[in-house]
Structure formats: C-alpha cells, structure tokens
Amino acid sequence: MPPLEPIVLGRGALSVTIDPPLFLAPMAGVTDRDFRLIVRRIGNVGLVSMEFISSRAIVDGNRHTRDLMYFVEEERPMAIQIYGSDVETMAEAAEIVEELGPDVCDINMGCPANKVLKGCAGAALMGDLDLAGRIIGEVRRRIRIPLTVKFRLGLNHTQTNYLDLGRLCEDLGVDAVTMHARTAKQMFKGEADWTHLARLKEALSIPVIGNGDIVVPEDAERLLRQTGCDGVMIGRGATRNPWIFHQITSHLLGEDAPEPTLMDRRDLILGHFHMVAEREANRFALHKLRKFTGWYTHGLPNGKRLRQQIQQLDTVEKFLVAVEDFFDRQLDELAA
C-alpha cells in the first residue's frame, strides 16, 4: 500500500501536521515524559499523548497533576488528554491545557476503568450523548487549538452507538476522532473488531484514527487496508516494543522493519530506568521499574528469571544493578 499521508488537524496558525499519522496512545501510569521521549527519540511517531488527566484536578490546581502535565519541546507534536463529566469543569480544564501550549487537546470518552465510569466520565459518556455533546460543544467553543475525541464502540455490544458519537463530534467541530474497536465492557479482552472502524470512516469526513490490537507492523498495514482509517494509534503494543512506530514506517515503505538488537534493548531499558530513578521516590520508582521490566523483557531469553528476581529487591540501586547484570550475561552468552 502507498505510504501514509500526513494528517492536518485544525486550521490556520494553530493547525498541526501529524506526519506520519502514527499516534502513541495516552496510558495512565505509562506515557509520562520519560516514555514519551523514548518513543520520540526512536523516531517515526507522529504524535505522542500524555496520560489522561482529571479535569477537576486541573481546575483545582493539584500540584501533582500540574507536574504530570509538564512537557518539553522535543516531544512535539503532543496531546494532552482530559476526562470528566462536568461541562464547565471540562471547559475550564481545556482552557488551562491550551495555556500550557500543547499541540492538541483530546477528550477521553473511552476509558473503561471502573473509577472513571463511576464518575460518569470516560466511556460512561457514551451512555449519555446529550451530556457528551454539551461537553464537546463547550470545550470546542472555549479553545482554539485542535480538538480530538477518543471513544470506544459503546458501553457494551447492545449499545454500540459510536456512529452517533462520531457524527456528533463532527457536527460540533472536532478535528479528528480516535476509536478503540472494543466496548467498554470488554476492557482489553477479546479481539478488537475493526469492521466498526471501517463503518465509522465511511460515516465521517473528519480524520478517523484506528486503535486496538496493533502488535506488529503487519497489523497496522492490515488495519489501514481493511478500514480506510487515516492513521493508527498504538497503546499496549508500544509498551513491549517502543520501536514499533519506526518498524511500521519501514514496513509501509516496503523496507525490512528493523529489529532492535540486544544492545539496543539494553541501552533503551537502562536509559529509561535511570531517568525514572532520577525523578521518582524509591517506592514509586520501584513500582514503575517492575512494570516496565515486565514489558521490556517479554520474549527475551531468561526474562522470566529477571522478572522473578526483581520482585525481591527493595532499592532502585539494587534494581539497576540486577538489570545491568542480566544484560551483561546475555551479551556474554551471545559473544561466546
């Protein structure tokens, strides 16, 4: 298939070009500044997204929330995603987001987490399109930067109203939509049903970004070919393989998708972990390091042994030594 065409979001001086139209999904506890920079430095990601932020916390001036929203110029283009269920709070939060200067403001209408649903936010808004429309409309009226909305098929398989929400977004001036092709009830289980992405693309004239089950470059090609979507968003697939955006671009150009070497993996993992160690207190750093080690060592020889070993470690220093030793042994065996 031909190379991906860039997507232009917005109009005039505040418009942003996403080239290539490959998007890093917002993921709570994952897409912090360190991980966004890692993916950006590997290359060929069009837009990176911050982990989703509570609109109430933004408006209340929560210090931790403001720290989460810090970003650097190297990350651009980038989006800040907000969630909530109160129209005025969402609009105020969007105004604050715009003042911070990201390229895109995104509204979360797809998160299936219980704590978000209980607050009538995230995917719960798909059960109240009147409220969803009032939020979108007021946010659109209050900000000038490009606005996007991310949602799912619906709350469950008997309430798949994504076409209604997609048309509502288009009518209210949203610049693009992203759909994860699962219901909220499915969470991340089962398979994403890309046939619905094709239907959404047929129904809308604004760009449609497809999301769900992109693990290898061939998945992205199949999604684009089968759905006609304008771009691809990748979440969990990027946690195990931050090189996936670069690999997709190569694959679509008919080139061999480069596989990271063991040394590439070592440098990325240790570089990331040292960044985490510098920014986080010991307890929080250990939690994050264990989580990322589980993803990064997936499929590596003796990776399970390392994952078991780190559960017993109680300091970041011990953790980093264990990871360095693991890779040193792997490289020694490779050279033998």
Angle at 182 between CA 57 and CA 185, to 5 degrees: 70
Give the DSSP letter of residue 143: -
The crossing angle, in degrees rounded to 10, of helices 217-227 and 195-203 is 50
Which residue do the tokens 């129904």 mark?
A: 203
Q: How far is CA 291 from CA 52, 110, 222, 238, 307, in A?
A: 18, 23, 30, 14, 9
Q: What is the DSSP string of 186-247?
A: TTT-S---THHHHHHHHH-SS-EEEES---SHHHHHHHHHHH--SEEEESHHHHH-TTHHHH
- Catalytic sites, residue numbers: 111
Which residue do the tokens 């978000």 mark?
A: 116
The whole-angstrom separation of Cα 134 and Cα 140 is 10
